[in-house]
Amino acid sequence: MEIKKYITENEPKMLEDLFSLIRIPSISAKPEHHDDMLACAERWAQLLLEAGADEALVMPSKGNPIVFGQKIVDPNAKTVLVYAHYDVMPAEPLELWNSKPFEPEIRDGHIWARGADDDKGQSFIQVKAFEYLVRNGLLQTNVKFIFEGEEEIGSPSLESFCQEHKELLKADVILVSDTSMLGADLPSLTTGLRGLAYWEIEVTGPNRDLHSGHFGGAVANPINVLCQIISQVTDAEGRITVPSFYDDVEEVPQAERDMIARIPFDEEKYKKAINVKALFGEKGYSTLERNSCRPSFDVCGIWGGYTGEGSKTVLPSKAYAKVSCRLVPH
């Protein structure tokens, strides 16, 4: 195929373009990376112009800048709007990396780096496909791009930006590739994604850290209490125990469950890929149903007291946890 030939001939340049994006630590969760967010947006705008866009703008929002680009081939043609995000998650814990997270490294045919996948990798594929179509005179639709820099923190600025620029973003189809595939040889269309609620729990006990030799067993330990709270949020059958949590949760229609059941899915391969011996989740639902159309509750981080090397006999004043729920309709 011509496109495979094009990829082979241009692979070194493509990789360097992708690596130039990955090397920018565009971590939206950390305020100290404010300048990196702008640098990444500007690099994306440059790459869009090089790919053949008529214009590419770095536009202000209430938060991090948003990249907008477009190529109009015919005002009467259909328009595809490509959405992506250029921000990435923090790379910690750094000690678990085998290479520097923002210095891409190719090992066993895979690119190892923060953002190589979610979402610089996917959006890069869209832009290079666009470039191929433009250079070979194959583009038959108008194409617009909107790349935001806050997806990993909940997209707080995106809605107001879209409302303010409705005409600019007007399109017939929105294409999002920040999704997953069931396998490299199994083309997949994602028709819906779960939402997210994220919060932090703080438990306070005594007014200061205490010596466990003097106070242990006489004062409630905030870490112990926090662990008790969290351990009770889900039961032995994987159901969330928060009162009324499921009252309005929309049940998946049987016809849709039947379709999900027909998806080629190898549970043993799934377990092997993440190196677990067994799976766990809400009773009465398959693995694919649990991770796509049922709500979840997860502790994403938990800390308190002394966590350095050696021992310190401290009964902490406070304990913390970061918690998330994946949400379904209602």
Q: Report CA Rg, the chain.
A: 24
Active site residue 151: yes
Beta-bridge partners for 241: none
Calculate the alpha carbon distances from 233 to 97, 221, 303, 307 in Å: 32, 19, 18, 25
Is the pLDDT at 310 greater than 80, yes or no? Answer: yes
* 100-120 residue pLDDT tens: 999 999 999 999 999 999 999
Residues of CATH 3.30.70.360 domain(s) within the chain? 195-327
* 236-265 residue pLDDT tens: 999 999 999 999 999 999 999 999 999 988
Closest CA to 157 of 41, 44, 42: 41
User: Mean pLDDT score of the chain, rounded to an integer?
Assistant: 95
Residues of CATH 3.40.630.10 domain(s) within the chain? 2-176
Q: Give CA–CA dist 20/104, Å, rounded.
A: 9
Q: Give CA–CA dist 44/35, Å, rounded.
A: 14
pLDDT confidence tier of residue 58, bands split at 50, 70 and 90: very high
CB 130, CB 143: distance < 8 Å: yes
Catalytic residue among 17, 36, 87, 131: 87
The alpha helices in the chain, defined as continuous H runs, are 2-22, 34-51, 120-135, 158-164, 166-169, 212-215, 222-231, 254-261, 267-274, 287-290
pLDDT of the residue at 189: 83
Catalytic residue among 119, 148, 150, 151: 151
Calculate the alpha carbon distances from 16 to 10, 11, 22, 206 in Å: 10, 9, 10, 55
* 23-42 residue pLDDT tens: 999 999 999 999 999 999 99
Q: Which CATH code of 3.30.465.10, 3.40.630.10, 3.30.565.10, 3.30.420.110 fits the domain covering 2-176?
A: 3.40.630.10
Active site residue 87: yes
Q: Which CATH architecture has domain 195-327?
A: 2-Layer Sandwich (3.30)
Is the pLDDT at 1 greater than 80, yes or no? Answer: no
Sign of torsion over alpha carbons 219, 222, 223, 227: positive
Is the pLDDT at 183 greater than 90, yes or no? Answer: no
* 156-177 residue pLDDT tens: 999 999 999 999 999 999 999 8
Is the pLDDT at 84 greater than 80, yes or no? Answer: yes
